[in-house]
Structure formats: C-alpha cells, structure tokens
Amino acid sequence: MLKIIGSIIVLFSATMAGWQVGRYYAVRPVQLRAMLMALQMLETEIVFAATPLYRAFVKIGQRVQTDIGQIFLAAAELMLKEEGYGTAECWRQGIEQKWYRTALRKPEKEILLNLGYVLGSSDREDQQKHIRLTVAHLNNLEQEARVEQTKYEKMYKSLGFLGGLLVVILMF
C-alpha cells in the first residue's frame, strides 16, 4: 500500500515537473507578443501623443499583460521616486526587479536594456527608430520561441510523465 502511494506521488510529481517546463515554452511566445505590443504602444505614446515617459510607462503597465506590464510600472515608480537616476537606470532597475516573473531569456533582456539607453535621452525620431529596431529583434526572437514551443513543449510534458513512470517501474 505504501509503495502504491509513493508511486502515485512520484508519478504525479514528475508529470507536474514536465508540465511546468512545457508551460515555460508555451508562455514565452505569449510574453514576447505582449512585450511587442507594449513597445508599439510606447512608440505611439512617445511619437504621436508626446506623453512624458513616466505617464507612458504607467499607461502601458496598466494595459499590458501582468508580468510584462509590471516591468513598465516598476520603471515608472522608480522614475517618480528616485531622483537623480536617469531614465536608462530606472528602466534597467525596473527590468531587473521584475524579470524573474517572466519566461523571457537573456537575449530579450539585453535587447530591452539597450533600448533603455535611448529612452528619454534623444529626440522622438531617434527613439522611434530604436523602438522599431527593438521590435524587429523581438519579432525574430518570438518566431524562434514559437519554433521552440512546437519542438519542446509536448516533449517535456511527455518526458515528465515517462520519467516518473520509469522511476515507478524501477521502484518495483
């Protein structure tokens, strides 16, 4: 009886571990798409509405999917309270504070950090060019993430279950 309960727990745990890894591959393209939408909204706010960055970040943070929106809200909060920090530093700290909540990887982080050096420190046209360049880079990474999702999501879900099944078989 104890072996059966232990086997069920092992099988369930391994299956859930596989599903968590598979979920990571499913969430990453969604979050990349949300970041792309946020950057396009940022471009609109900067170029056409001439909204100050603080207000633009707050608007975007409230409209965009929660994990991505939190980055913008954190940067806006830092802009408001941290006097003496530039926009780039507030953007960097906002990313660093909330990055753990996302399924995004280091290449996306580097691209977004590089964007921060331009935000608020150049004219609108230059910011627009850099935002569009960032969007182009993130579009390529989103396509790669979708390919990875089709390759690995189902595989890890199956591997979790089959790995747990292997452990159960080896227990008996």
Question: Residues 6 or more apart from 22 whose CB is under 8 A from it?
Answer: 152, 153, 154, 155, 156, 157, 160
Which amino acid, one-letter code, is at 151? K
Per-residue pLDDT of the chain (172 residues; tens, 9 = 90+): 888 898 899 999 999 999 998 988 999 999 999 999 999 999 998 888 888 888 998 999 999 877 899 999 999 888 888 676 788 888 999 999 989 999 899 999 999 999 988 887 778 888 889 999 999 999 999 999 999 999 898 899 899 999 999 998 988 8
Do 107 and 141 form a contact (C-beta atoms < 8 A)? Answer: yes
Task: Write down the domain spans for the chain.
Answer: 2-171
The model carries a pTM of 0.84
Do 33 and 65 form a contact (C-beta atoms < 8 A)? Answer: no
DSSP, res 99: G
